[in-house]
Structure 1
């Protein structure tokens, strides 16, 4: 079992992503890597894997260290290969003959259904593509496993399985996990590295305990900075007074002392580090007022797939103001179809028999793929044409949401998944709804963005219907919980019992 050491490692893009990073990863380590979108998590993982070079510092690997990196997207050259062939090609070429047993062993370990094993990667669901990439890295028997957003596209059953698997794998090889899922990080990591442009901070604790320590660390840094700047102000005032005394009295000693105090003030000011700011802007939700108490009434409605196959029936359901309804269920149960059906009923009155909406209802809709965003249009043109804010105001609201002028001019299709998510939430805000219909709204949203969305929903007393696999998000905002199970939908007290059934 080897190790990897980082010594004063830094990466400089347009601005520093991180710098002076010192870290040792060794046997049994399970490290959570936490940072905002675009802050360097994927870059650091590529540096660890040897696929990218840091701008400064050095990375020292044990001789012969084998590293498995699982990136967020399926490499194009693997899309037309079967899942079995993907694992076969991950084996050392000298060991491939007669190694079918190893492929079957890993496929069994990942509980892969027989009908998926010969299916091309492009035909697999997003969740199975993620697991296939992890299995591909694992079959090569790495000494270090690097996982970049491994929970993307996983349903709860697979997410719980992966938590357990990483816990077991961590005893055989160190694991570094970059993730925005707070519960996932708590479940499968023992250390946390908060990656920052200035001073990165690490703690030998899972995410939530580490986050509390980080908040205390930041508060202490804030207090120290205020103390230092107060001393700078005092020294400068004293230096000016001494200078005046020296000039008026002709005292060289007073002027020398004044110059010394001024230099001391400048040194203190230069040494006071700028405090870390998590993001350049934020997205705030707004809610349009309505006097209606009940916004949606549903009676005897069948929720079906696009080809007409019935999934479940809703005998009766009312959505009142300030209800925050979380829809739970296994993948394929019909959560997304329900949210989509409600959106159609809200935007096309009387189009869905059995669903009546208040005339004052103004829906805001986000689906998990952000398909409402036009891929070829720039972010600036999308906001400008959709909401008619004018050129300068459109640029301003995009800047507030963290989009630089350069990013505003890129086609939406070229934005990162995290940036698309932020743009989709900005459009949601600007539509000024009074009911939010949210299908996996936290997909690809970083932890600060998730916490901001939670806070805004709570602060605005928003009415919303949400389908989400993010347990922290669900627990923060939910006031009512609907469970879709075995072709029926029923209201339950909370999500915990459902989560236990998904853990098996």
Structure 2
């Protein structure tokens, strides 16, 4: 029996986010929800959780159903509360004392170190904050679990751990996951809902297969529409020809026949449904000014250290060539970020880095980090572009609109933009910089799947030279053509990322 049933559900915020959605969520379901940034995934989860009323339609929940909902944002009220107490606070007041043992059981299941359990939520990393919210939902022993972008801020080890945790849940507990992480969806779901303003589509398949099935269904619908419209045009031409003959001959029969043909054409046109056209959340384009240099960066057994001088690794003799798309692999804390910072310094301030790291003088750097630190929250998108680049306001407005930032948001503080809009603004700045070498730290953070695929396509089409760090396995597999692994304080080149991914998953399991 279904735990939750949605019938003709719709939410409109000016324009419809989704409409006429009919869906059942039952035991055994691991449902992935896929849509572009700002297209209703979080809204749908809130409707299912009962914290938001839909505009139209009905939701039926089994009697006494307990819903665990992990939202994207951390409630401000929890910031100063220790991890363990924040989880305990999710229990009903009458159970917090007698059932407190559940808290440590959940924290043990999520491998939360003892040292973190008494630390305030605000003092935790973004990844541990996400797991704290997951623990709060889990401790209530929910009948249905709703997860909104659960892999945000998680490293590969924590993502693998989360996958294992979800897959170990009792099958009678349905899980609904809104996510842009394609590999995570493939590993944890068995159904996929493509949420659309009209005619949302669900497949009893994990994401990769569902995406292929969706493409086939959309193509078939486009062919049907074109066929129906062609038939309608033929009927109208026949009607027009008969109408002329009927007028000249005065035949009532031909007049009736003309009317019948027109009615058939109208019925076909009314029933024909154009294939779904996804509205772009904003274009992503890159540029590559090129360089004649074959070797872009030389690492001469460079030492990579912490700020206090502790050695993290030595690079050995390494070269970055034009056209290399190098993925930097390694667990947290091994020195990936410090190596990226060292290479950045060698490009931007070569006199300060010595001979251990040398960049060709013709390099122009395009840099983006996961915190999007190059964008100031108090600045505006329009001012950011006009100050950095010789564009003029009219051109800047057009570029921002193309990147998915509406005119009313172009002069508002960047801090008010969504994560997806900030990411697209960062990509626009990167494009206008016209680099010939990219340093990209978690570039797919906050990008929806269309944005991720657009970034992948641009890096390939522009033949961009880059060094990148990413926890997005699908992105790494699609983009990388060389792979450097940091392990045991050494930087080594490996054939691909799969052995590293498997090793991380094995330890997490």
TM range (shorter): over 0.9
Query: SS at 1:298's partner residue?
Result: strand
Q: 1:470 maps to which residue?
A: 472
Q: State the shift of 1:33 in Å.
A: 0.8
Q: 1:66 & 1:317 partners in 2: Cα distance?
A: 55
Q: Which moved more, 1:25-34 or 1:341-350?
A: 341-350
Q: TM-score, normalised by structure 1?
A: 0.96
- CA distance change for structure 1 residues 2 and 85 in 2, over 3 Å: closer, same or farther? farther
Q: 2:321 maps to which residue?
A: 320
- CA distances 1:99-150 after superposition (whole Å, capped 9, x unpaired): 3321111111111101000000000111111111001000011110000000
- Equivalent runs, 1:290-309 vs 2, <5 Å: 290-309=291-310
Q: 1:419 & 1:271 partners in 2: Cα distance?
A: 37
Query: SS at 2:168's partner residue?
Result: helix
Q: Which moved more, 1:243-252 or 1:172-181?
A: 243-252
- CA distances 1:50-108 after superposition (whole Å, capped 9, x unpaired): 11111111011111111011011210000100011111111111111133321111111
Query: SS at 2:214's partner residue?
Result: helix
- Equivalent runs, 1:200-211 vs 2, <5 Å: 200-211=200-211
- Equivalent runs, 1:333-352 vs 2, <5 Å: 333-352=334-353
The answer as to whether partners of 2:301 and 2:318 remain within 8 angstroms in 1 is: no
- Equivalent runs, 1:405-484 vs 2, <5 Å: 405-484=407-486
1:372 partnered with 2:377: no
- CA distances 1:267-301 after superposition (whole Å, capped 9, x unpaired): 43333323222332421222112111111112132
Q: 1:221 maps to which residue?
A: 221
Query: SS at 2:129's partner residue?
Result: helix
The answer as to whether partners of 1:29 and 1:170 remain within 8 angstroms in 2 is: no
The answer as to whether partners of 1:279 and 1:402 remain within 8 angstroms in 2 is: no
Q: 1:239 & 1:428 partners in 2: Cα distance?
A: 57
Q: Which moved more, 1:409-418 or 1:384-393?
A: 384-393
Q: Which moved more, 1:455-464 or 1:36-45?
A: 455-464
Query: SS at 2:315's partner residue?
Result: strand
Q: State the shift of 1:230 in Å.
A: 1.2
Q: TM-score, normalised by structure 2?
A: 0.95
**Structure 1: 5+ residue stretches without partners:** none
Q: State the shift of 1:218 in Å.
A: 0.9
The answer as to whether partners of 1:9 and 1:57 remain within 8 angstroms in 2 is: yes
1:357 partnered with 2:359: yes
Q: 2:66 & 2:97 partners in 1: Cα distance?
A: 21
Query: SS at 1:185's partner residue?
Result: helix
Q: 1:92 & 1:260 partners in 2: Cα distance?
A: 68
Query: SS at 1:169's partner residue?
Result: coil
RMSD of aligned alpha carbons: 1.7
Q: 1:477 & 1:486 partners in 2: Cα distance?
A: 26
Q: State the shift of 1:250 in Å.
A: 4.0
1:382 partnered with 2:366: no
The answer as to whether partners of 1:2 and 1:65 remain within 8 angstroms in 2 is: no
- Equivalent runs, 1:177-192 vs 2, <5 Å: 177-192=177-192
- CA distance change for structure 1 residues 376 and 260 in 2, over 3 Å: closer, same or farther? farther
- CA distances 1:201-260 after superposition (whole Å, capped 9, x unpaired): 111111111111111111101111111221232223223333333444444544444344
- Equivalent runs, 1:15-26 vs 2, <5 Å: 15-26=15-26
> Size of the alignment, in residue pairs?
504
Query: SS at 1:38's partner residue?
Result: coil
Query: SS at 1:481's partner residue?
Result: strand
Query: SS at 1:95's partner residue?
Result: coil
The answer as to whether partners of 2:221 and 2:274 remain within 8 angstroms in 1 is: no
Q: State the shift of 1:371 in Å.
A: 1.0
Q: 1:376 & 1:242 partners in 2: Cα distance?
A: 68
The answer as to whether partners of 2:30 and 2:175 remain within 8 angstroms in 1 is: yes
- CA distance change for structure 1 residues 427 and 262 in 2, over 3 Å: closer, same or farther? farther
Q: State the shift of 1:314 in Å.
A: 1.6
Q: 2:363 & 2:54 partners in 1: Cα distance?
A: 52
